[in-house]
Amino acid sequence: MTRIYTDEAELYDIAFGWDLSAEADWLVSRLGPDCRSVLEPGCGSGRMLEALAERGLEVVGIDLSEQMVAYARARLGGAGEVIRADMTDFDLGRRFGGAVSPVSTVGVLSAAGFVSHLEAMARHLEPGARYLVQQGIDAELWRSEWEAERDGVKLHVVWEAVERERSRSRVEVVAGPRAGEVVDDMHTSTYWTADGWRDAIGASPLVQAGCFDGGQPDRPPVELERGGGLLWHELVAP
């Protein structure tokens, strides 16, 4: 794991501190009225867990980073549970009514690791439960740049793909006690084609029931072949 996911959990949380209300509302609607408990693998600093808990769901997150687990636990207090675990091989001893994985979290996994992850998720989902996964398909090289600020700490963030399976993040502290510091990381990720994604899902116990354009406010359904970097995939447990 890179520095932004470990030693710099707080900077990560500030950098990604945008309003999740609309996305959380959509996720709850897609999970369905019978969903009462939600698992988030790779939950990071717990922002989505908090948003879902505020909407009345029981939330549980797992993450491999000790720092992220500690940060998410502090954020949730008693409103949810966060466990340190590897999302390709874990056993929580229970099943959930649904699951979510935003911001291409599963992109850090290899193709084989992703199939192992889906097998673990299937063991933790109730029959018919939905797993909503955000992951780009046939995505072009991309670059995002934005400012973020909280409690006097101001950041300038650049996150960009430098190759199909490598991205770079640069978080500069513009204002605050650490002004002038820069956290610069390189990240490895899997580049997914439509065929490769279908093969991975087909090798798992889950079934893809839909694909949605996360780049549009109403997140309309789209064909997988359309591709794009902000696609939401609706997977269903057997």
Q: What is the pLDDT of residues 31-58, one digit of tens each?
A: 999 999 999 999 999 999 999 999 999 9
Residues 6 or more apart whose CB falls under 8 angstroms from that of 209 comprise 130, 234, 235, 236
Query: What value does the CA radius of gyration of the chain take, rounded to a whole number of Å?
Result: 17
Q: How far apart are CA 62 and CA 70, in angstroms?
A: 11
* pLDDT the model gives residue 186: 97
CA nearest to 68, candidates 87, 55, 53, 54:
87
Which residue type sits at 154?
A: K
For position 167, what pLDDT does the model report? 95
Handedness of CA 182, 188, 189, 193 (dihedral sign): positive
The secondary structure of 122-167 as a DSSP string is HHTEEEEEEEEEE--BSPPP-EEEEEEEETTEEEEEEEEEEETTEE
pLDDT tens-digit map of 170-196: 999 999 999 999 999 999 999 999 999
Q: Which parts of the chain register pLDDT below 70?
A: none
Distant-in-sequence, close-in-space partners of 27: CB < 8 Å, separation ≥ 6: 48, 52, 100, 132
CA atoms of 131 and 128, how far apart (whole Å): 10
Cα→Cα distances 23→3, 131, 182, 219, Å: 27, 15, 30, 9
* Cα end-to-end distance, the chain, whole Å: 32
pLDDT at 60: 98
